[in-house]
Structure 1
Amino acid sequence: MGELYRLAVSETTDGARQAVIEYNGQLLPVDAALGERFETITDLQPLLDQWNEVDTLIADYVQANTTAFSRGGPVGEATLLAPLAAPGKILCIGSNYHDHIAEMPIPMTPTYPYSFLKPTNNTVRGTGDSVAVPRRVSMMDWEAELGVVISTKCQDVTADQALQYVAGYLNFNDLSARDWLASKPPVGVDWVQHKAFDGFAPMGPYLVPARFVADPQDLPVRLTVNGKIKQDSNTREMVFGVAAIIEHASSIMTLYPGDVIATGTPAGVGHGRKPPEYLSGGDEVRVVIGQLGELVTYIV
């Protein structure tokens, strides 16, 4: 397994994007481990496209050069961006925690992973970014979720093989507009107005390689709003675990490196509270899952 490192994308002093390795609170450019393998690494996507080889090279470098990070820049002085600026797709799983199903209440436990897609070129945000309450939305909600990032093109994989196709994990906040969930449209939930507004997919700040997550079904999930704990659960509450989700998703569509799967949210969302609570301008939302760092979103 080796020394824990995490991958991120930081903003340079001239406003450019730079892929970095975080180790022990210090950052070094990924170039330090990979040399001139890539011309310019401004996003994690090029690494994911060659993940099996790149992951080993970075792990070996960190193991042999831990002292080099003392010359790196402190994380606290860096501006971290979304690890992936535009994933190929964001597949979200709904109603996937037993405790969340109980709080909503959802009339039945799904018999297969219930899913929907989020657009990528308008929703993705990084830690510390602001997200505006959409003009027509009065019921904006939070959802802390474990994000799974695919490493290798795959189709029709079985659950016992599925984790081999995971590059790593990240925090994900599946921001939601409950207005159209509550109004019960004639053809069911309007998933576009529910989930697809600008900024509704904050993620990061890190991609933690799968080698450091021994069991994705045993990770604490916590979300706070303005410092108050709203969600405090564990991924063991999932109805369908990561492996089962990948098996199901890959039976429908080919998964590609850099695709993100948001695996559902536990109890504690605003819409399930009595009385309900929703986000408004000035709120600060923080998501922490295991060793994945802290994803901060400011609501404006």
Structure 2
Amino acid sequence: MSRFYRLAVISHAGQPLAVVEQEGRLVPVAAILGEAPGPLTGLGPLLADWPRWSAAIEAALPAADAFADAIQATDAKFLPPVAVPGKLVCIGANYHDHINEMPIPMVPKYPFSFIKPHNNTLRGSGAPVKAPQGVAMMDYEAELGVVIGVECANVPAAEALSVVAGYLNFNDVSARDWIEKRPPIGVDWVMHKGFDGFAPVGPYLVPARFVPDPQDLPIRLSVNGQTRQDSSTAQMVFGVAQCIEHLSRIMTLYPGDIIGTGTPAGVAHGRKDKAYLAPGDIIRMEIGPLGELVTPVI
């Protein structure tokens, strides 16, 4: 297998900068490529032609070792790896252990999905999320985020992983008030999922080639050092390939689109103590090799 690397976007000299991470060193992608698809202030231009640029990055990695002005990851301010996805689609009720804790009266027969607004919700690792006024049941949801790398439609499950550019941590922050108080017409998904900052992601995008089986990843989340979620993506009702198959039958998927694949057991709403988030809390989540996503609540 190729030498492991991760991609990220950081704030550098007041501007976004796309970087390659290896062993804690961050090197600007543009600095190691002999050519680049325009100014690399984000990963969008790379994802637009992912097969080409991912191969070019791998070929250029030896140059990263010799780059003298690398930035240490511990000193970086991370931005969302994908700042402007075409769409952010989330799958609900997709872990067996989460279905059991809620309890949800049935196992879905197909992936249950909703669209989450991204322009106001996305936040990078370390960026604070403000507890919204009037929300008493602010909750966390550790999820595996899937980033699409090829325009596609009607993709069979057997081929679905080939359209994935990479994976990232995704915290689908939720306001459970709108489950408890739902009117007869049903849950208001905008008030449930759409508040500012309710989609922390990152810090890294790990290329799909370094995740040979997305259904075999540990997924963990803690609040103030207390473990809340500790499960595996093996608990998914519908795996990544099945989610892509289902969604691509409804809509064309484009490079940079993000799919949140659901959360395991341990959310505050499913706990006996109902330990919802509050200002001062620090959320930390990790999935396999994807790094640690840190989110302070203010």
TM-score (norm. length: structure 2): 0.98
Offset, 1:126 = 0.3
Q: Structure 2: which 5+ runs fail to align?
A: none
2:5 paired residue number: 5
User: 1:215 maps to what in 2?
Assistant: 213
Deviation at 1:70, TM superposition (A): 6.4
1:23 maps onto 2:52 in alignment: no
Deviation by residue 1:13-49 (Cα, 9 ceiling, x = unmatched): x211100000111011001232342331111111000
2: distance between equivalents of 1:118 and 1:178?
Answer: 15
SS at match of 1:130: coil
Asked if residue 102 in structure 1 is aligned to residue 83 in structure 2, the reply is no
1:244 counterpart SS class:
helix
CA contact (8 A) 1:23 1:69 kept: no
- The counterpart of 1:164, out of the listed 162, 165, 180, is 162
Tell me by how many angstroms 1:60 deviates: 1.7
Q: CA offsets, 1:167-224, max 9 Å, x none?
A: 0000000000000101232122111100000000000000000010010000000000
Is the aligned partner of 1:204 residue 2:202? yes
Q: Aligned partner of 2:58: which letter?
A: A
Question: Is 1:33–1:57's contact at 8 Å kept on the other side of the alignment?
Answer: no
The AA in structure 2 aligned to 1:54 is W
Q: CA RMSD in A?
A: 1.1
Residues 81-136 of structure 1: per-residue CA shift (max 9 Å, x gap): 11111211100000000000000000000000000000111000000001111112
Identity of aligned residues (%): 60
> Unaligned stretches of 5+ in structure 1?
none
2:111 maps to which of 110, 113, 133: 113
Partner of 1:240: 238
Q: Work out whether residues 32 and 63 of structure 2, in 8 Å CA contact, stay in contact via their aligned partners in 1.
A: no
- Taking structure 1 as the reference length, what is the TM-score of the superposition? 0.97
Partner of 1:296: 294
Asked if 2 retains the 8 angstrom alpha-carbon contact of 1:86 and 1:120, the reply is yes
CA drift of 1:77 comes to 1.3
Instruction: Find the counterpart in structure 1 of residue 57 from structure 2.
Output: 58
> Relative to 1, partners in 2 of residues 1:218 and 1:70: Cα closer, same or farther, differing over 3 Å?
farther
Number of equivalent positions: 298
Match of 1:189 in 2: 187
Which ranges of 4 or more aligned residues in structure 1 deviate by more than 4 Å? Answer: none
Match of 2:142 in 1: 144
Q: Distance in 2 between matches of 1:113 and 1:11?
A: 36
